[in-house]
Structure 1
Amino acid sequence: MILQALNGYYQRLLTRGEEGLAPFGYSPEKIGYEILLAPDGRVVDVNDIRDTSGRKPLPRLMNVPQPEKRTVGIKSNFLWDKTSYVLGVSTTSKRADKEHEAFKTLHRESLAGTDDPGLKALLAFLAAWTPERFSEPQSHFTEEMRDANMVFRLDGEKTYLHERPAAQAIRARLLAGEDGEAAVLAAPCLVTGERLPMARLHPPIKGVNGAQSSGASIVSFNLESFASYGKSQGENAPISEQAAFAYTTVLNHLLRRSEHNRQRIQIGDASVVFWAEAEADDEAEAAEEFLANTWNWDDRPTDAQENNAMGLALAKLVQGKPLHEIDPRLSASTRIYVLGLAPNASRISIRFWYVDTLGALARNVAWHAHDMHLEPAPWSGMPALWRLVLATAPSRDGRAKAEDVPPQLAGDLMRAVLSGTRYPGSLLANVLMRMRTDGDLSGVRVAICKAFLARQRRFNCNSNEEVPVSLDKESTSPGYRLGRLFAVLESVQRAALGGQVNATIRDRYYGAASATPASVFPVLLRNTQNHLGKLRKDKPGFAFNLEKDIAEIVDGLPEHFPRSLRIEAQGQFAIGYYHQSQSRFRKAADGSDADTDSTTEGASA
């Protein structure tokens, strides 16, 4: 199913002439120089074709014959390669002589009998060239060219040798197995159903974070233990050369690292790509743009108009408005494909695979935004999925790293958002553990707690307990009330000690207060009386308000503090703490009697 969808997407992109997408047998590779040949094989010049728009020259991507899959063997590419193969010179390879001989052998055999002037010039060049000529003053070569990839062009013509019709015809015969090694066995392709030559090895997939830089494979049979019934390598899962090329090429296109590529996002260790399928190309492009805007919300350049437009779109989604009101090009029947890939040594594992209509996906995203809704909002727009995933990782100086995200959790969270199912059970536990460990009670983390509990309540029809969106003084949840009480006690401490406080009760007691209230709150309340005594002298009005808040909250609690709180109640504790803290902060902003020394940076996004 995955390979079939990728193959279909490749064919559609190829039909509409997608820039940077290579036809069968070719792939975009980094090329640094071109060797300009005379008809008799002489080197007329060597031109630097690197991209010089940046700070330093970089090789530019060019569609060339697909490279050979090299491990430890020597295999030459067709009509291009690095200098150890093309010229027999290198600063790193210790077998440049053998690699150059392989390059000459391949082209002597494959180009034998050709009448094409450009290909005949290459044969003449290879017959006359010796590696020693590289260092000659009049050779046109320089030391910085060593180990760079090179292509050939005939002097006076614009097309490269690998682009000439004669070269493409020879390349097609090589791919069909009519030249070189024995022809590849033909069999019905599992992707297309056509009887075609099978791919023994599939082209590498590059761009997956954490995978080998040279590329990794989704389909691979590289050990004898993977084979059965006498079949080896690609024979175990017969996929044609064309289909293998198609799915790997379009996947590399989706995974490319480019500022213009918005169909790729990183969720924890999973490299996620997505695409759309619709009757009209503009409908598919609109759907892909809509998803990119939604999932990369706060990872985009700051532009007030764009942000406002996206905020309105998400608001309409949450309100259940039809997609065509957001964008007339959007259709609810458009098919959406989302693929999550994770590194696994030399292979790539499928973290998740989601297929549905845009209408269903939009509803699920709207439910996610509804569940995440928190007042006061700790963000200007709904946080991107990658930011939610980072909230489950350790926070060091307010920053988290993707490699610290639990891998399974990242995939499960993405799947839950896409499909509208339950959030993973480990989500709440991870967030609560991180808040206790690093003391970062960010608004995003609190919103995750709220979303988890809200979705759990929706799926558990027997639950009558509401999850507050904003400060709810009527809530009878012990966890929520204890969180509010803890926030008020912290405000008393801050107000009484002012700038002299080195560590608040949140820094020292939050973990114990949220898990085992009975062991902490009696001590905190006794200490609070000392702080209130000081406040009555300095700020009697503020002290009165704080005592009133404490009495109101305690009156709604059981006679005895709970010995422990379940994990769901600990989530309620975090929400109550956030609401009460933000309420005090908002009162200060409005100019009412509040603790002007208190800060709420820990409860902000």
Structure 2
Amino acid sequence: MILTALTRYYHRLAAGTDNVGNPKVPPYGFSEEKIGWILVLSSDGLLVDVVPHLSTDKKPQPKLMSVPRPEKRTSGVKPNFLWDKTAYVLGVEANKDKAAAQSQPFVPSEKTFAAFKQYHVQLLQDTADEGLRAVRLFLEHWQPEKFAQAPCRPEMLDANVVFKLDGSSGYIHQRKAAQALWATLLVNDEAERGLCLVSGEEAPIARLHPAIKGVWGGQSSGGSIISFNKESFTSFGKEQGANAPVSEQAAFAYTTALNYLLRRENKHSLTIGDSSTVFWAEAAEHAEAEEAEDLFAAIMDPPDDEQENNKIFNVLKQMEKGRPLQEIAPDLSPDTRFYILGLAPNASRISIRFWLDTTFGKLFDNLAQHWQDLHLEPQAWKTPPSIWRLLVQTAVLGKSENISPLLAGEMARAVISGTPYPLSLLSQLIARIRADGDANGLRIALIKAVLQRRFRKDLIKEEVPVSLNTESRNTAYLLGRLFAVLERIQYQALGELNAGIADRYYGSASAVPFSVFPRLLSGAKHHLSRLRKDKKGMAVNLDKDLGAIIEQLPETFPRHFNIDEQGRFAIGYYHQKQSYFAAKESTANEE
């Protein structure tokens, strides 16, 4: 299912072009690789110049170029066709001895250069093409020690390089003769033929699949979704890819599509926890599929640009109110297919964290439900938060590297599939509030979302209020409100303290109220007595709030609260506390 969908996506990409008219993905047998330098050869095979192929960033990086697909070098020496690293093409690599590198920046790499030279001299022995002949002559006469002379530069070391014939356009690997030769090399007469699981047709089966690069935390050389390197992974005496037969063309298609999706500049990838999440759509019209992809990306990871952020903020507001997709985006069909794939590194392999195959209408409903569950008054954010920004609220010290990868994957799955949020999300949020005392809007919105989703799924009986609900009889919610009133009384009576009741008692008040609230109420009497001397009106209002809440409470305080009740306590505390800020702002505006 996953490979089939990726293969179809490759064919859609292959039929289109980018903004400057170039194909979005390379044809079969080619791959987009990072090429740093171009070796310009004369027709006699002399190196006349080296030209950088780098980005214009502050720290220039090699740019992508479509080249004959690379060999999969798990071990051993295997040269690529008409391009490779300097260790293969020029026989030199960077000196790893930092002390010696200042005087001698490169060291020879004889074994790799000999393999590259032998491979190409043999292939190009009888060529009549001027460009291919120049490559052969260059390799026959090149000596690695010549790298110390112009036009070579030390910054070229270990970069990928290609060839260009001086005075001609394009690169040598793009010449018709080179491509015709490469096409003959792609035909593997020794490949085992079988029924491809992707296309359903008989074809040569790929023994090894091309590498998948760009998975966050994965190996720089890439990884594989399908690979077999131990006898325990094989069956019926089959070897390597024959255990899960995928044709060479299908293997190329799905890996090329996945590599395209994983490149950040293509805006089809999100990092959530330790998972690289890619997404794409299928529709009758390419423009409609692209619109669905753009909308999903903006909802999941709102843009930094203020103007664009305002646009998506308005969309999210409508989603919170339950507006249907056709009202928000009338050009989008709810039946558009949408795919989301979560990938995580596992040594040289890539693990599938989650996979969703659905319609965009259903996905939109799930995303809308997420924002409805998060909705809190007063608004908990100025700009819409991404899943990553929400998850940071669970991390120790607010550092993203402390986010639990397992929690991140479970939360992403809950958001896109509409399933209950993980209970570990609730427990971690409560633990963070107890640890640092920061019951901020994002944390409370997430707590409310977890409980509201559980209510939607009939896992708990009582709905969670969006804003301050003075009619609620839920004991945990009432005690959260009561704690906020007690904190307000202390603050108005004594001003700022190094350690107020929230700093000292929030954790125990939210978990074992019986042991704390009698003492807090006793202290509040003294604070109110003091407050009546200086701020009589304030004292009267706070005493009313105190009495109104106590009147609705049971005769005895509960011995302990479970995790759901601790969540409701936090929500009640936030609602009541924010009501005082709102009243203060209203008074300031009137004045």
Q: Same fold (TM over 0.5)?
A: yes
Distance 2:155 2:498 in 1: 58
CA contact (8 A) 1:7 1:243 kept: yes
Within a 5 Å distance, the mapping from 1:284-433 to structure 2 comes to 284-297=289-302, 299-303=303-307, 306-394=308-396, 396=397, 399-401=398-400, 403-433=401-431
CA contact (8 A) 1:85 1:100 kept: yes
Instruction: Name which of 120, 134, 141 aligns with 2:147.
Output: 134
1:57 corresponding residue in structure 2: 60
Specify whether residues 406 and 55 from structure 1 end up closer, same or farther in structure 2 by C-alpha distance, changes over 3 A only: closer
AA partner of residue 493 (structure 2)? A
Alignment partner of 1:549 is 2:545: yes
Q: CA deviation at 1:322?
A: 3.9
Deviations 1:556-584 (A, max 9, x none): 11111100012111111010000001001
- Stretches of structure 2 lacking an aligned partner (at least 5 in a row): 97-106
2:463 corresponding residue in structure 1: 466
Instruction: Name which of 114, 119, 135 aligns with 1:122.
Output: 135
1:495 corresponding residue in structure 2: 492
Runs of 4+ in 1 over 6 A off after TM superposition: none
Q: CA deviation at 1:329?
A: 2.3
Q: CA deviation at 1:546?
A: 1.2
SS in 2 for 1:336: strand
CA contact (8 A) 2:108 2:144 kept: no
CA contact (8 A) 1:31 1:149 kept: yes
Q: CA deviation at 1:231?
A: 1.4
TM-score, normalisation: structure 1: 0.91
Distance 2:568 2:60 in 1: 55
Q: CA deviation at 1:377?
A: 1.0
- Stretches of structure 1 lacking an aligned partner (at least 5 in a row): 594-605
Instruction: Name which of 135, 142, 151 aligns with 2:162.
Output: 151
SS in 2 for 1:591: helix
Alignment partner of 1:277 is 2:282: yes
Alignment partner of 1:534 is 2:530: yes
Q: CA deviation at 1:173?
A: 2.0
SS in 1 for 2:80: coil
Q: CA deviation at 1:73?
A: 1.2
Distance 2:390 2:156 in 1: 45
Distance 1:64 1:367 in 2: 45
Instruction: Name which of 39, 42, 46 aligns with 2:43.
Output: 39
Distance 2:186 2:535 in 1: 85
1:7 corresponding residue in structure 2: 7
2:100 corresponding residue in structure 1: none
Q: CA deviation at 1:311?
A: 2.8
SS in 1 for 2:354: strand
CA contact (8 A) 2:7 2:254 kept: yes
Q: Which moved more, 1:17-26 or 1:236-245?
A: 17-26
1:101 corresponding residue in structure 2: 114
Deviations 1:30-76 (A, max 9, x none): 2122111122212222222322x222432221111122222331111
Alignment partner of 1:25 is 2:29: yes
SS in 1 for 2:92: coil
AA partner of residue 8 (structure 1)? R
2:246 corresponding residue in structure 1: 239
Q: CA deviation at 1:147?
A: 2.1
AA partner of residue 7 (structure 2)? N
SS in 2 for 1:9: helix
1:596 corresponding residue in structure 2: none
Root-mean-square deviation (CA), in Å?
A: 2.0
CA contact (8 A) 1:496 1:534 kept: yes
1:506 corresponding residue in structure 2: 502
Alignment partner of 1:486 is 2:483: yes
Distance 1:281 1:156 in 2: 39
AA partner of residue 447 (structure 1)? A
CA contact (8 A) 1:176 1:197 kept: no
CA contact (8 A) 2:319 2:372 kept: no
Deviations 1:312-353 (A, max 9, x none): 323333444443332332111111101111222222111110
2:232 corresponding residue in structure 1: 225
Within a 5 Å distance, the mapping from 1:519-598 to structure 2 comes to 519-591=515-587
Q: Which moved more, 1:350-359 or 1:422-431?
A: 422-431
Q: How many residue pairs end up in the alignment?
A: 576
Distance 1:330 1:561 in 2: 54
Specify whether residues 479 and 7 from structure 1 end up closer, same or farther in structure 2 by C-alpha distance, changes over 3 A only: same
2:103 corresponding residue in structure 1: none
Deviations 1:155-198 (A, max 9, x none): 111111111121112222222225xxxx2212221111222222
AA partner of residue 188 (structure 2)? G
Q: CA deviation at 1:112?
A: 3.3
Specify whether residues 56 and 344 from structure 1 end up closer, same or farther in structure 2 by C-alpha distance, changes over 3 A only: closer
Distance 1:456 1:366 in 2: 16
Distance 2:489 2:347 in 1: 54
AA partner of residue 41 (structure 1)? G
Alignment partner of 1:452 is 2:465: no
AA partner of residue 14 (structure 2)? L
CA contact (8 A) 1:318 1:369 kept: yes
AA partner of residue 33 (structure 2)? E
Distance 1:592 1:149 in 2: 64
AA partner of residue 296 (structure 2)? L
Deviations 1:135-165 (A, max 9, x none): 24xx421223222221101111111111112
AA partner of residue 88 (structure 1)? G
Q: Percent of pairs identical after alignment?
A: 53
AA partner of residue 78 (structure 1)? F
AA partner of residue 366 (structure 2)? N
Distance 2:384 2:377 in 1: 13
CA contact (8 A) 1:268 1:390 kept: no
SS in 2 for 1:90: strand
CA contact (8 A) 2:273 2:404 kept: yes
1:74 corresponding residue in structure 2: 77
Q: Which moved more, 1:341-350 or 1:271-280?
A: 341-350
Distance 1:2 1:273 in 2: 12
AA partner of residue 178 (structure 2)? A
SS in 2 for 1:27: strand
SS in 1 for 2:93: coil
1:267 corresponding residue in structure 2: 272
Distance 1:316 1:585 in 2: 26
CA contact (8 A) 1:196 1:240 kept: yes
AA partner of residue 289 (structure 2)? A
Specify whether residues 400 and 440 from structure 1 end up closer, same or farther in structure 2 by C-alpha distance, changes over 3 A only: farther
CA contact (8 A) 1:37 1:121 kept: yes
Q: CA deviation at 1:447?
A: 1.0
CA contact (8 A) 1:82 1:148 kept: yes
1:434 corresponding residue in structure 2: 432
